[in-house]
Structure 1
């Protein structure tokens, strides 16, 4: 108990320290002029799962005036009211493990931001091209019942750890971009078999609800502009008895297709909400940081999503990335560590 208390106090101190990194302008405001932030309603979000690793590597962030600022505080000042954090089961270097997730969740909590937890159910990336079983679970690769238990235990462990440390979680992804299922090959979905995937999803769903009964659970797949990917998956899952509260989608437009892609995605949000009676969340979005169309794309998507009562919000994926970090070029900061115009849509 003493160790747990010390850990909580340490995390609280770290959170307070991060708040002290606010810009001089904010620190010097009087109580009457201190800005207020809308943390309710439509989610204007950012996935900043790489942030702690970037900071450890020496990355710095600056506001439009050129003043160095804590990144999460800077994002809040730009209108970001929600933070998304991925979770890996046993990451080799600890990044995106539950301790790293808690440290970032504490920072978000102390800024008043809401939190989405994104379970990958893997030791590293899970996406449409790979849904690798965690090393510790390989003995269960042919045993559905034991794999369901592993999913439930991991979900319970992470979420209970967050809750015991005072973190509220509003949304929980049961898998990441599970376009053809999760935990392959056992949970691979096909035209004739959605049963295993539905069972694994439900194990995560039930475990999540046991810890955070009011949280909304998301099934998330990619290419939000392609309606058929969603109807194939959700028709199959519905028939197999899968449980979900929100339909999640990713969208990554390019310069040569962004207007059509965004039109299709916004139309699909309405279609899917009507077909399944569920809300929709754009869990990931991004465009090349130096694209001349990125700001217009984001403005269109934020306005379109906010105007649709079926859409709960939109999350930019790793906007803090800059300078070739991990060779990812779809962040929303320039080479000098300043936010680009793409984030102005959140103001």
Structure 2
């Protein structure tokens, strides 16, 4: 009888141990998923006196409000020599370092997004910084390397090593036009590889992201990354933007295309994938919540845990301050319920 009881005790202990281990593993896997917010406007918002409030009306730090809603990652853009313009300036190296330190102290993970411009770089414009305007291609290669190295070492000196670094922002047509246009993919590849090399020289564990818009557009992504492969572009993660608003659709019309593209990119190029920008209309809170929840589900469903995370672009950038209608903030200074999708 004692032997039987002893055996039963061992089985119960083993079962409990396995259950506990599985719980820990599942919890660790859940925590590894990046739930993020790009908050490049936050320093300016605070400097101009904008106040952030919790649902109960309590004044609160913006990053704390985001953390309370499940956000564990902060994405910060970097411009080379930006102006002081409220909407299209700031985001200098020094301002980025301050924000990154602040985010890390809150327990947040950090992503750095290099635009390689003095202001916005996106599919419609990839303007060289004024300081680099007359540089030769060889000089531009050095510019990319040393600017990347300079910013990342400033962060490292301040005690922050980003988990991810984007080399370029939404670059389906290339960057640093005209030299880095996709019309000359070999030169674009060299510029991207200079950025990659600079990142890895600072810390080989930082994951390098190459980022395109229209994450639901498989044809665009296959064309770009087939060319990237042919030109030996070095990178770790494929970054996607997904904004149904900008392609004048509801997410239900193309969320399946996004999911299919995530799976295709991961399998076709053997890379991790990540939605590094997403957003919905601020006044359509339920729709934006549901869209965000569905995007998170799609990224988590990428096989072999290769879907790394989802980042909302400027959720705190309330329209009353920014005139941007895809934030997740209400006119009373409180977060929209759309962000609750990160808690679920």
User: What's the TM-score bracket when you normalise by the shorter of the two chains?
Assistant: 0.7 to 0.9
Pick from 69, 74, 81: which aligns with 1:78?
69
1:242 aligns with 233
* 3-state DSSP of counterpart to 2:331: coil
Pick from 163, 172, 176: which aligns with 2:156?
163
* 3-state DSSP of counterpart to 2:254: helix
2:121 aligns with 126
Q: Would the alpha carbon gap of residues 210 and 96 (structure 1) be closer, same or farther in structure 2, given more than 3 Å must change?
A: same
* 3-state DSSP of counterpart to 1:96: coil
Question: Matched residues in 1 for 2:54 and 2:190: separation?
Answer: 46
Paired residues in the alignment total 308
2:146 aligns with 153
After superposition, give the CA deviation of every residue in 1:318-343 in whole Å (9 maximum; x if it has no partner).
00011433321100011011111210
Question: Matched residues in 1 for 2:319 and 2:122: separation?
Answer: 24
Larger mean Cα displacement after TM superposition, 320-329 or 171-180:
320-329
Q: Which runs of 5+ in 1 are unaligned?
A: 1-36
Q: CA deviation at 1:261?
A: 2.1
Q: Contact 1:320–1:332 at 8 Å: present in 2 too?
A: yes
Pick from 303, 328, 331: which aligns with 1:335?
331
Structure (1/2) with the larger helix percentage: 2
Q: Contact 1:39–1:81 at 8 Å: present in 2 too?
A: no
* 3-state DSSP of counterpart to 2:215: coil
Q: Contact 1:39–1:113 at 8 Å: present in 2 too?
A: no
2:301 aligns with 307
After superposition, give the CA deviation of every residue in 1:135-175 in whole Å (9 maximum; x if it has no partner).
110121xx221110010010000000000110121000000
Pick from 72, 79, 82: which aligns with 1:88?
79
Q: Contact 2:319–2:327 at 8 Å: present in 1 too?
A: no
1:98 aligns with 93
Question: Matched residues in 1 for 2:200 and 2:268: separation?
Answer: 24
1:111 aligns with 106
Q: CA deviation at 1:39?
A: 8.9
1:180 aligns with 173
1:212 aligns with 203
After superposition, give the CA deviation of every residue in 1:20-66 in whole Å (9 maximum; x if it has no partner).
xxxxxxxxxxxxxxxxx999400000000100001111111111111
Q: How does 1:187-198 map to 2 (within 5 A)?
A: 187-190=180-183, 193-198=184-189
After superposition, give the CA deviation of every residue in 1:208-265 in whole Å (9 maximum; x if it has no partner).
1101210000000100000111111111111011111000010111384211222211
Pick from 25, 33, 39: which aligns with 1:42?
33
2:7 aligns with none
Q: Contact 2:212–2:240 at 8 Å: present in 1 too?
A: yes
RMSD, aligned α-carbons: 1.7
After superposition, give the CA deviation of every residue in 1:2-34 in whole Å (9 maximum; x if it has no partner).
xxxxxxxxxxxxxxxxxxxxxxxxxxxxxxxxx
Q: Contact 2:37–2:74 at 8 Å: present in 1 too?
A: yes
TM-score by length of 2: 0.87
Q: Contact 1:159–1:208 at 8 Å: present in 2 too?
A: yes
1:17 aligns with none
* Bigger radius of gyration among the two: 2
Larger mean Cα displacement after TM superposition, 90-99 or 38-47:
38-47
2:243 aligns with 252
